[in-house]
């Protein structure tokens, strides 16, 4: 925990040590929640490196017997491209994800955002996934989903495409978490690096890891792992349950978006804050594609 006053006084020093101008000075005076600010803990995305990342949105379920194989493939790709490829495990509605206490699956991991994404991207079977929500069919397929066996090769091709992997945005992010009232507030500061056609949103994901809970897996006998560790689980997407907040409309190069009020979310008591991370996404409203991602821990380690 850091006292807010202490944070304000040392924030310039932190960034001067990294030879980076403090990108958050515009909000130093307004980091205020509805409860005691002394409980604010502050984290930053690494602003020294700007790269384009790829997000695997892994649509899964704790009663999906084939889904752990998809998770294993995603973990292999992340190990291959650390810090560049990220995972969000999305438990959507239906028989694979709904709670079933009588059969030993009492937990509810479904989210409004996950349901919305499943319907929007026409995902009818699991495991399945989206890779930055990019449509690799050129618009000929019903869904932009990519099967788990194609995740690694598709990402290999993207990583080898210098045009695709060149960032078109730069984003610096600060977040505060107030342990007193469990409010997380995100302050992105975004710049366009080149002119971009269309409209763009900013969306924040809260992911939780180290959740121990049963998972069906047809590779073991009996086909249920009671102490399965669920990681990078989507707990919430906000604002507007993943629809996001519009930040640009047909921006030219070097346009800025600065969030001054903060994008806020109140965490339920059952979530373990120390195991949570934030993904801040820029998405195209026109194509739904994710065009930029920053990752940071909800609390400072």
DSSP string across 141-161: SS---B-GGGHHHHHHHHHT-
pLDDT in tens, 200-216: 999 999 999 999 999 99
- pLDDT band with cut points at 50, 70 and 90 for residue 301: low
Give the 3-state secondary structure of residue 28. Answer: coil
The CA dihedral of 22, 28, 34, 38, to the nearest 10 degrees, is 90
Sheet strands (E) in the chain: 40-44, 54-60, 85-91, 128-131, 169-178, 183-192, 199-208, 211-212, 215-216, 224-225, 229-230, 233-238, 245-249, 256-258, 263-266, 276-284, 290-297
Which ranges constitute the DSSP H helices of 109-206?
A: 112-120, 151-159, 162-165
Rounded CA separation 154/56 (Å)? 11
Q: What is the pLDDT of residue 13?
A: 30
Residue 93 has pLDDT above 80, yes or no: no
The structure's pTM equals 0.88
- pLDDT band with cut points at 50, 70 and 90 for residue 162: very high
**Domains in the chain: boundaries:** 4-297
Show Cβ contacts of residue 156 under 8 Å, excluding neighbours closer than 6 positions.
Answer: none
């Amino acid at each position: 925990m850091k006292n807010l006053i202490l944070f304000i006084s040392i924030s310039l020093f932190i960034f001067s040590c990294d030879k980076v101008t403090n990108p958050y000075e515009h909000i130093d005076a307004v980091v205020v929640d509805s409860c005691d600010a002394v409980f604010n803990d502050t984290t930053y995305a690494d602003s020294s490196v700007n790269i384009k990342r790829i997000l695997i949105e892994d649509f899964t379920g704790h009663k999906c017997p084939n889904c752990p194989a998809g998770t294993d493939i995603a973990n292999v790709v992340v190990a291959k491209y650390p810090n560049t490829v990220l995972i969000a495990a999305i438990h959507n509605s239906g028989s694979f994800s709904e709670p079933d206490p009588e059969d030993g699956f009492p937990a509810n991991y479904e989210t409004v955002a996950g349901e919305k994404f499943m319907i929007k991207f026409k995902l009818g079977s699991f495991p399945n996934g989206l890779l930055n929500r990019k449509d690799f069919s050129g618009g000929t397929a019903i869904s932009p989903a990519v099967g788990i066996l194609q995740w690694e090769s598709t990402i290999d091709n993207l990583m080898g495409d210098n045009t695709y992997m060149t960032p078109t945005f730069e984003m610096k992010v600060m977040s505060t978490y107030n342990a007193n009232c469990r409010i997380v507030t995100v302050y992105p500061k975004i710049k366009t690096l080149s002119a971009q056609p269309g409209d763009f949103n900013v969306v924040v994901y809260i992911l939780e890891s180290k959740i121990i809970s049963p998972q069906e897996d047809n590779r073991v006998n009996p086909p249920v792992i009671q102490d399965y560790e669920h990681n990078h689980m989507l707990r919430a997407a906000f604002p507007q349950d993943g629809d996001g907040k519009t930040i640009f409309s047909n921006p030219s190069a070097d346009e800025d978006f600065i969030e001054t009020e903060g994008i806020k979310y109140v965490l339920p008591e059952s979530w373990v804050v120390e195991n949570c991370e934030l993904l801040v996404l820029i998405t195209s409203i026109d194509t739904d594609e994710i065009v930029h991602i920053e990752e940071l821990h909800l609390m400072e380690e």
